[in-house]
Structure 1
């Protein structure tokens, strides 16, 4: 493992143990067993560090699965990829709590710029993954190419809304309802292209 990867691993351990608020340059350097100057060699700014951590978090939880397998139903392929954004049932409370804490620390009454940077980096990394998935489907003729960017915005908003509803209304809103919403979205995205072909 390279020194850069060791630093990212230390940052991920800090995040898991102490939450997003524990992620500072000094804390990451200490956890990695290096000085701040050495850390700055690999990550010149705190934003660079946050971007790397966000990419690691997203790439560690989001897989391309069968998105490129054009022998399978495109709705099902997109749905299976999107479901990865939902928390696993066995860790739902902890994952949603961490998600809410991230927003609270980034946007609350006393916002932490470092956490906001991590939040923005996470959204950017998620958008890149969605671009890859939807771009693949667009290349295969299943999604309107000019709509990919708009779909990315829509699904990111949908996912945040699903997380919020899972957190605040568990008695009326569960993972099954969230999955149905993601399937609905996948059907609409693919259906647009199908309707265009039919005209």
Structure 2
């Protein structure tokens, strides 16, 4: 019985903390840091400002948690899409690339959030550390997918370099696709991404399933 109570309390606290992070992200997307005050975040989450101080040292701490959540969620969404299909290395890599270049990962609202966070990296070493960790997280998933291709004559250093290069291509397409979605009809961005990543790796990546969300 005691174990059940502890588990319930832990889940409740985690859900409350997540609600505060989501409220902060909503307000940051709507109006930036000036709008995302502690009181506004508390009001959006339906709690008192004092509860925020229970979970976070202050607004800066909450902002850092929001950035980590935001970045890790996008990677998790691409990982989920990667796993939802045939367990073929090329198909898995294809799903990972295309999911990174379509909604919900690639959206104008997320670009606005990302650019707002990016301004803080130079002034906040902790934000910079979070950026490095989440960048490495995405890159490492991509690298593992590249290693799984088992290309002849490639070693660990080559796979790491290729993962960095592919990540750069995906990031660039994500930026342009989210900034100017009207300029890229249908799945054009996804197709460009597949061809570019395939060219870097010397691999023919299959088109993703058309009915994939």
TM class, shorter-chain normalised?
0.5 to 0.7
For the residues of structure 2 that align with 1:27 and 1:156, how far apart are their CA atoms? Answer: 36
Residue 8 of structure 1, aligned match among 2, 8, 18 = 18
Change in Cα spacing, 1:79 to 1:18, as seen in structure 2 (3 Å) is same
Structure 1 partner of 2:143: 134
For the residues of structure 2 that align with 1:61 and 1:71, how far apart are their CA atoms? Answer: 17
Structure 1 partner of 2:103: 88
Q: Is the 8 A contact 1:106 1:112 kept in 2?
A: yes
Greater share of residues in helix: 1
Q: Is the 8 A contact 2:79 2:96 kept in 1?
A: yes
Structure 2 partner of 1:78: 93
For the residues of structure 2 that align with 1:10 and 1:161, how far apart are their CA atoms? Answer: 31
Structure 2 partner of 1:162: 173
For the residues of structure 2 that align with 1:140 and 1:68, how far apart are their CA atoms? Answer: 18
Structure 2 partner of 1:39: 55
Shift of 1:159: 2.6
Work out the number of aligned pairs and report it. 184
Coordinate RMSD, CA, aligned: 4.4
Change in Cα spacing, 1:77 to 1:158, as seen in structure 2 (3 Å) is same
Flag the structure with larger Rg.
Answer: 2
Structure 2 partner of 1:57: 73
Structure 1 partner of 2:206: none
Stretch of structure 1 that moved more, 7-16 or 162-171: 162-171
Change in Cα spacing, 1:85 to 1:68, as seen in structure 2 (3 Å) is closer
Q: Secondary structure of 2:98's partner?
A: helix
Asked if 1:153 corresponds to 2:161, the answer is no
Normalised to the residue count of structure 1, the TM-score between the two structures is 0.63
For the residues of structure 1 that align with 2:103 and 2:81, how far apart are their CA atoms? Answer: 17
Q: Is the 8 A contact 2:71 2:134 kept in 1?
A: yes
Q: Write the deviation string for residues 135-170 of structure 1: whole angstroms up to 9, x where unpaired.
A: 244156246421333334323332332134333473
For the residues of structure 2 that align with 1:44 and 1:180, how far apart are their CA atoms? Answer: 39
Normalised to the residue count of structure 2, the TM-score between the two structures is 0.60
Change in Cα spacing, 1:65 to 1:160, as seen in structure 2 (3 Å) is closer
Q: Which residues of structure 2 form unaligned runs of 5+?
A: 1-10, 204-213
